[in-house]
Structure 1
Amino acid sequence: MTRLIAAAALALTALPSLAQDLPDLGGREVVIATENAYPPLQFVGPEGAPIGWEYDAMEAIAGLINIVPVYETTSWDAMIPAVAEGQYDMGMTGITIREDRAEVVDFSDSYMTSQMVMLVRGDEERFTDAASFAADPDLLMAAQPGTTPFYVGVYDVLDGDEANPRIQLFETFGAGVEALRNGDVDLVLTDGTAGNGYVAASEGGLKIVGEPLGTEEFGFIFPQGSDLVEPMNAAIAALAGDGTLDELNTRWFLDYAMGE
């Protein structure tokens, strides 16, 4: 695992925040599980350091409630069980708030709303929506096991068989997108904000087809009963109220994707 102290690992521009009566956690160290494979929410940047929307948001939150984030990288499939068991204080990697997950971990309030979209190569003409993709048995989809895109692909696009060979499994989201670019798969399902970022940066190499396949809310996860949930929710509300979350959306889903 890679262990990074946030203040040393990231150089962030100042973010505005409202002066509010927020809890002060006294410089408490908070160990956060991350994956670093879900751009632009969190990923390893060109200079080799972890960057992204969630890192910037967490730095802003840390300033509001006086915590010291410490990041440890782990795989997606291990993250929720590990947080549930208390191996980490919290986890972040664009985690969809779902009832089944809420049975084993506590969620923060939503910090982002997104819709699932179909990301394809820019010259794709064989299908234009979920139904036409499903109708062609030669077409393949990339997914990470256990993720929201995986389940949407299985149950909303294909036949409900989680072992369907048309779903090609990849350890990271980025690997699935690279397989799409290389022609090894034909579709990647992703949230609309990330999908639009990939399209904007692809110079025509990627596009989105069809209608969105539902809406999802992202939240941070904690061991059940964690005393961090309430302070985190207060900080999220403050950042939503002062425009910081909107600023981060612009920074990472538009400016970064466009290379600005």
Structure 2
Amino acid sequence: MIWARCVGAALMLLAIGSSVAAAKDWDTVRIGTEGSYPPFNYVGPDKVLKGFDVDIAKALCREMQVTCTFVVQDWEGLIPGLLAHKFDAIVASMSITDERRKVVAFTDKYYLAPARFVVRKDAGISDVGPRAMEGRTIGAQASTIQASYLEEEYGGSDIRLYQTEEEATRDLKAGRLDAVFGNSVVLYGWLSKEGTDCCAFTGPSYSDPEHFGLGAGIALRKEDDDLKAKFDKALDAILADGTYKTINDKYFPFSIY
């Protein structure tokens, strides 16, 4: 009987300790981002981290009244870094998908951009369907929903995956690829600045949730429910008070929400 009481007391103390640990104050939130995905997140010539993702993260942290710090991490290391407690949240244009939800939690979406093909104008491509693109060379960023879609649906094409989307568009402009498949907003930014002479959007927009997710959300560890609630509440607030629109209009001539 004494042994049973001791075990019961120990379990009670453990439960109390667990609830205290869960009630974290979140005075500081460490944000993980890629830093090589303009205009969403990138390091400028002045070595300062910039972009839509970064400005949205800062606005959310101000709304939550917490201090933000940023950690630049390569794309493929973002989820492992989050789970290893290298940072507390990922704000890096990460699409909300069922596959990722198996290992991390997501906030509500903070933007939605369909996928599209950009092709070389001299490649004579008017149809970007899987059969029409057989034998063509298509680039995409590795470990993205766009790369997964190409690998599933474009088996007859030469799929080349890159560490960053910048590397893919660089090869497209240089003539080493026939097309790039990626985030339409990112590709729009590249086309308007660097790709107008060589390349153009071709074909439809791709936004089927089964393949392309439900928009970009902030990824969090599953146990950090309190932090998710804070981010969701802050997102609602910046959407309501016009802060989100101000940031949107700084980067894009159209709404991406």
Bucket of the pairwise TM-score, normalised by the shorter protein:
0.7 to 0.9
How many residues end up aligned between the 2 structures? 224
Task: For 1:129, give the aligned amino acid.
Answer: D
Cα distance in 2, alignment partners of residues 57 and 208 from structure 1: 27
* Alpha-carbon shift at residue 195 of structure 1 (Å): 2.1
SS of alignment partner, residue 148 of structure 2: helix
Cα distance in 2, alignment partners of residues 106 and 46 from structure 1: 34
SS of alignment partner, residue 130 of structure 1: coil
Q: Which of 200, 205, 210 is residue 212 of structure 1 equivalent to? A: 205
Gaps of 5+ in 1: 1-24, 256-260
SS of alignment partner, residue 142 of structure 1: strand
Q: Which of 164, 183, 192 is residue 184 of structure 2 equivalent to? A: 192
* Alpha-carbon shift at residue 27 of structure 1 (Å): 7.2
Residue of structure 1 in register with 2:54 after alignment? 55
Cα distance in 2, alignment partners of residues 205 and 69 from structure 1: 40
Is 1:126 the counterpart of 2:118? The answer is: no
Residue of structure 2 in register with 1:150 after alignment? 147
Residue of structure 1 in register with 2:6 after alignment? none
Q: Within 5 Å, which residues of 2 pair with 1:36-55?
A: 36-55=35-54
Cα distance in 2, alignment partners of residues 96 and 36 from structure 1: 16
Gaps of 5+ in 2: 1-23
SS of alignment partner, residue 236 of structure 2: helix
Residue of structure 2 in register with 1:135 after alignment? 132
Cα distance in 1, alignment partners of residues 112 and 133 from structure 2: 31
Change (3 A) 1:136 1:224: closer
SS of alignment partner, residue 231 of structure 1: helix
Cα distance in 2, alignment partners of residues 165 and 37 from structure 1: 26
Q: Within 5 Å, which residues of 2 pair with 1:5-20?
A: none
Task: For 1:210, give the aligned amino acid.
Answer: G
TM-score where L is the length of structure 1: 0.79
Higher helix share: 2
Task: For 2:174, give the aligned amino acid.
Answer: N
Residue of structure 2 in register with 1:97 after alignment? 96
Cα distance in 2, alignment partners of residues 37 and 112 from structure 1: 18
SS of alignment partner, residue 124 of structure 2: coil
Change (3 A) 1:26 1:82: closer
1:143-202 per-position Cα deviation (integer Å, ceiling 9, x unaligned) = 22211110122224x03xxxx771112111111111111111121112222222222223
Task: For 1:223, give the aligned amino acid.
Answer: R
Residue of structure 2 in register with 1:174 after alignment? 166
* Alpha-carbon shift at residue 134 of structure 1 (Å): 4.2
Q: Do the aligned partners of 2:135 and 2:157 also contact (CA within 8 Å) in 1? A: no
Change (3 A) 1:185 1:26: same
1:9-39 per-position Cα deviation (integer Å, ceiling 9, x unaligned) = xxxxxxxxxxxxxxxx977111121111111
Task: For 1:225, give the aligned amino acid.
Answer: E
More displaced stretch, 72-81 vs 136-145: 136-145
* Alpha-carbon shift at residue 125 of structure 1 (Å): 4.4
Is 1:72 the counterpart of 2:71? The answer is: yes
**RMSD across aligned C-alpha pairs, in angstroms?**
2.2
Cα distance in 1, alignment partners of residues 138 and 185 from structure 2: 19
Cα distance in 1, alignment partners of residues 80 and 91 from structure 2: 13
* Alpha-carbon shift at residue 242 of structure 1 (Å): 2.0
Cα distance in 1, alignment partners of residues 127 and 89 from structure 2: 36
Q: Which of 220, 223, 230 is residue 221 of structure 2 equivalent to? A: 223
Change (3 A) 1:124 1:153: farther
Runs of 4+ in 1 over 6 A off after TM superposition: none
